[in-house]
Structure 1
Amino acid sequence: MIQADALPPKAGTPIDPPNDTNANSRRAATTLALTLPGDTVLYLLLPMYAAQFGVTLPEAGMLLAANRLVRIAGYGWVARFYARHGDRPTCMLAAAAATISALGYATLSGFWALVPLRLLWGLAFAALNLSTQAMATADPRGAARRNGRSRAIIAMGPVAALPLGAWFADMWGPRVIFFLLALTSLAGVLAARGLPAQPHPAPAASRRLRLPGSLDTWSFLEGFTLDGLFIIGLSYLGKDLMPAGSVIVAGAVLALRYLGEIVLSPVGGRMAERFGAERLLVSLSLLTTVVLVGFGAGWIWSCAAAIVVLRALQLPLLPPIVAMRTPGPGRVQALAARSVWRDIGAGTGPLLAGLVLPLVPPIWIYTVPALLLALAALACVRTATPRTSGTSSTSGTSGTPNTPDTTP
């Protein structure tokens, strides 16, 4: 018989999660906040100072994509390592890898010297990202709110590092900032020492192939549109509207993306606790569809700002839904699977954008993926299974049964 206090609360129920769960979630988020700036600052500086890093501009693009590609291939291995060894050793090792990567950005030159650093960081981020999601969803009570706070903490690192990196690059060149970011990553090793070391139970590995589920499809399309098409289109389309200052405006909008996470991700988490994570996911995805169509129609800067807001509100929603649908030993692997699909979308979006933006009207480029995103969000809604005699069906904040996601 399931005890009443073990059930996830209904929408609108006051949340009072255990202090240990909140503290562990904050520690995992702090570790990622201290290690992530090395990557975000490289995104800012490598294309602008490619020659000083000893690479061409196409090689810079490949380097920036390498960490995402290795995550697509390596997330399964990282998830198994994480489940076997627990958060503390995994995150300490990942933070140490981030430190090595930042030192390499400061000292090494050339494509083949930098590629191993990008691959190392890709695996490190996979582990740290998985830990933040697993810690935030360790207790179903308040998972969405806790995940919103986690996203806000993580975004503090890039918000502080991006303007500092630009200033350092202007004063002393693009390398010096990475010595400082190596020190912050080293501080991440210390932050990870407070995480629990217990392993996570994992189900037996399945050898059969499974078609992507509704949440997989939504994750792919969100990464494809918001982290792929939108980012490339912002610079490409903006240069025609504001040739003299498009880079500055585009950079400001991208920096505001992280500031939006700090301010709005906790709001999204609280809204999910009140209205239901799935219901909010559908509503925000439909709004995003409208805004993406407007972006393609030519309202570049206003719609870009709206996309930043909507993206920040959506970030806390998926992990609680995944944890609710896949309780028990399968939670860590399910969280990793959704991250893989998002990475696939975010990796293919820029590639397609670079090919079609010069050839196809923007209204079509953004309308079609936007409509697919809306359909994917609607497909995520499932009818709750009614209670039957002799079984226990639990509902999360969105009224969805606590069963593994097998929706094709």
Structure 2
Amino acid sequence: MLSPPDRQEPRAPSQADADALAADRHSRRAAIALATALPGDTLLYLLLPMYGAAFGVTLAEAGLLLAANRLVRIVGYGGVARFYARHGDRPTCTLAVVAAALCALGYATLSGFWALLPLRLLWGLCFAALNLATQALATAEPLGAALRSGRSRAFIALGPVLALPAGAALAQAFGPRPIFGVLAVAALGGLLVTRGLPRATHPALVPSRPRPRRPSALDAWSFMEGFTLDGLFVIGLSFLGKDLLPGSAVVAAGVLLAMRYGAEIVLSPVGGRMAERWGAERLLVAMSLVTALALAGFGAGWLWSCAAAIVVLRALQLPLLAPIVAHRHPGPERVQALAARSVWRDIGAGAGPLAAGLLLPVLPSLWIYSVAALLLALAALACGRGAWPAKASG
């Protein structure tokens, strides 16, 4: 007589599963808060250089205003990290969302360089706080950290990808200022999700006084990623493709920026799943090497095909750095390490446009982008030394 098959009792959720679900929920809420606050900044990048007179600034002043938020983060990330550790996620993100709404309201009502500069500095600190919270919450639990990072990037990109085309159309119809009033109200919608963030502070994460040290391989890679993908590539695309891009300038620029964020929505979760399967560090090295090839091709004249490849590769790489940092710096060091990588990326993203503006008019683009590609490849290979096993988490 055959015995009946063994029944498999349903597995009770473990504490690790519950912690992972809580991390998913908190990471999603922080990402949505940043998604509501970010469109004011991204739309300003689109409209300020084109409508400088409407804001009472020259083109040179517009460039300084657009760089100011990165410059303040270079010196301010440490203070933001200490504030975040002492006060926790809910107060930090709530304060940042309210301040972001005030910045957008200021863009709608204030004119002149000195009136707009404090808003840009304030926004830089707001972004630092929200960005740090999203990364810290995505990596709070090792289980599924890379996948959470990818989903977080997709949620963050939703705000800009919806606001950019609508903002471009409204700017053409009604001028560049009124849209920022609408975005100020939209930013306050982030308060609905910050209420669900954890109240707990992180006293163990309060960073100690920083000591001078040599940049690590991850520092070098973060700098080169900001320099090439957020600086040199974006400026080069505008400079090299200005005669080939159809349509009006504002519409074309809006489409390009929306494409970048749209790629994040679709592909960043894919990058997170790939990292969970093959390992975030190995994937970062492989994709950076392919990106280096695309950069060299971009400089050689294969403009649109290589630009599309770079947009795709950038979106796939975005969720990789946070889990790598969390793996290398477990425990209290994680928040400060995430902030340090963001500082190096901001330094690179600030240096990239300056280098592009100085070099592109006087040197062959093949030489410029080939050297940048080589440096990115070397930085990626340095990060790959001593990679951990292929699966980053269970």
TM-score, L = length of structure 1:
0.89
Alignment of 1:5-404 (within 5 A): 18-200=20-202, 201-202=204-205, 205-242=208-245, 248-383=251-386, 397-398=391-392
Quote the Cα distance in structure 1 between the aligned partners of 2:210 and 2:291. Answer: 36
Aligned counterparts of 2:137 and 2:210: Cα–Cα separation in 1: 27
Native 8 Å contact 1:253 1:305 kept in 2 = no
Q: Offset at 1:208?
A: 2.6
Q: 1:243 to 1:354 in 2, by over 3 A?
A: farther
Where does residue 403 of structure 1 map in the other structure?
Answer: none
Give the C-alpha shift of residue 171 in structure 1. Answer: 1.3
Secondary structure of 2:205's counterpart equals coil
Paired AA for residue 273 in structure 1: E
Offset of residue 245 of structure 1: 6.1
Q: Is the 8 A contact 1:239 1:247 kept in 2?
A: no
Checking the alignment, whether the CA contact within 8 Å between 1:152 and 1:262 is kept in structure 2 is yes
Deviation string 1:344-402 (CA, Å, 9 cap, x unpaired) is: 000000001000100000001111111111111111123269xxxxxxxxx68359xxx
1:208 and 1:309 map into 2 onto residues whose CA distance is 37
Gaps of 5+ in 1: 8-14, 386-394, 400-408
Q: Which secondary structure does the structure 2 equivalent of 1:68 belong to? A: helix
Q: Secondary structure at the match of 1:197?
A: coil
Deviation at 1:197, TM superposition (A): 1.6
Q: % of aligned pairs identical?
A: 69
The answer to whether the 8 Å contact 2:86/2:206 transfers is no
2-structure distance, mates of 1:240, 1:46: 21
1:212-248 per-residue CA deviation (whole Å, 9 max, x = no partner) reads 1010000000000000000000010002445876765
Change (3 A) 1:89 1:67: same
Residue identity in the other structure for 1:162: L
Superposition deviation, residue 189 in structure 1: 2.3
Contact 1:235 1:246 in 2 (8 A): no
What one-letter code is carried by the residue in structure 1 that aligns with 2:193? Answer: A
Q: Is the 8 A contact 1:292 1:367 kept in 2?
A: yes
Deviation for aligned residue 1:249 = 4.4
Q: State the SS of the aligned residue for 1:18.
A: helix
**2:81 alignment partner AA:** A
Aligned length: 379
Work out the CA distance in 2 between the residues paired with 1:258 and 1:20. 26
2 CA distance for matches of 1:384 and 1:162?
Answer: 39
Determine the C-alpha separation between the residues in 2 that align with 1:329 and 1:246: 47
Secondary structure of 1:267's aligned partner: helix
Q: Offset at 1:302?
A: 1.0
In the alignment, the residues of structure 1 paired with residue 111 and residue 329 of structure 2 have an alpha-carbon distance, to the nearest angstrom, of: 44
- Counterpart in the other structure of 1:406: none
The 8 Å contact of residues 279 and 398 in structure 1, kept in 2 or not, is answered as: no
Cα distance per residue 1:48-70 (max 9 Å; x no partner): 11000011111111101100100
Contact 2:168–2:250, Cα closer than 8 Å, also in 1: no
Conserved in 2, the CA contact under 8 Å of 1:238 and 1:250?
A: no
One-letter identity of the residue aligned with 2:55: F
What secondary structure sits across from 1:210 in the alignment? coil
TM-score of the two chains, using structure 2 as the length reference: 0.92
Of stretches 320-329 and 193-202 in structure 1, the one that deviates more from structure 2 is 193-202
